[in-house]
Amino acid sequence: MANIQAAKQPWEVNMSALLGLVGATLIMISFLIGLFILTPTASDYFGNNAKIHRDCAGVDSSVTTAFDGPKALAARCATEDSAGDGGTALQDQLVTLTSTNRWKEPLAFVGVASFMAGIALAFSSIPALLKNRGDVMAAAYKQILAQGA
C-alpha cells in the first residue's frame, strides 16, 4: 500500500477546458460577425440595389480601356443606370461580403478544431487514470477480503 496514491488532476483536463473555451469563443465570434455584419450588408447590397446598379458601381466611363467588355459595360451604365453611380459605398459592401467570409469560415473551423483537440487531450488522460484506479482497487481488494465484510 505504501506507494499507492490516488491520481492527481491530470494537466490535460485543465488544458482541454481551456481549448473548449477558446473553441466556443471563436465560434461565437464567427456567428456574431455573420449575424451583425454580413447579414445586414448582404441584405442591403442585394435587396436594395438593382443588378445594373450593382454592376455599375464604381464604373467610370472616362477611363479608357483596350478591352471591349468594360467599354460596353461603361456605355451601358451611362445609359441604363438611372440610379447613378453607387460608387465606393456599394463596392465597399461587395468587398466586405467577399473578403470577410474568406477568414470567418476558417475561424469557425479553428474553433471546431480547438474543441476536437480538447476532446482528444481529455481522452488521453483516461488510460493513466484507469491504471491508477486498477492499482488502487487491487490494494483495496486485499483489505476488503481481510476485513471480511
Partner 1 sequence: MANNFNVTVQDDPKPPMPFSMIEGMMPMYPMIAMLGFLMVLIAVVVGYLQLAPAELDFFADAKAVREGADVGSSFVNGNVSRHLIEAWVPSFKLLGLGLGLMAINMALGIIAKRLRLMGKVVNAHMPENLRPAIPEIPKKVKVMQMLAMMGVMTLVITFIVSLVMMGVASSYWDNSIANTLNPAQAGSELLTQLGTLSSYNAWLAPLRIVGMGMLFTGILIALSVIIYNLRVQSELLVDFTRRAEKR
Where along the sequence are the contacts to partner 1 (CB under 8 A)? 1, 4-10, 13, 16-17, 20, 23-24, 27-28, 30-31, 33-35, 38-53, 83, 104-105, 108-109, 111-112, 115-116, 118-119, 122-123, 125-126, 129-130, 132-133, 136-137, 139-140, 143-144, 146-149
Using the minimum distance from each CB to partner 1, give the nearer residue, 74 or 119: 119
Chain length of the chain: 149
- Indicate the DSSP class of residue 50: -
Grid cell digits, residue 66: 483596350
Q: What is the DSSP string of 55-118?
A: HHTT--TTS--S-HHHHHHHHHHHHH-TT---HHHHHHHHHHHHHHHHHHHHHHHHHHHHHHHH
Q: Toward partner 1, which CB reaches closer, 63 or 141? A: 141
Cβ closer to partner 1: 64 or 102? 102
Shortest Cβ 62–partner 1 spacing (Å): 26
Give the amino acid at 63: V
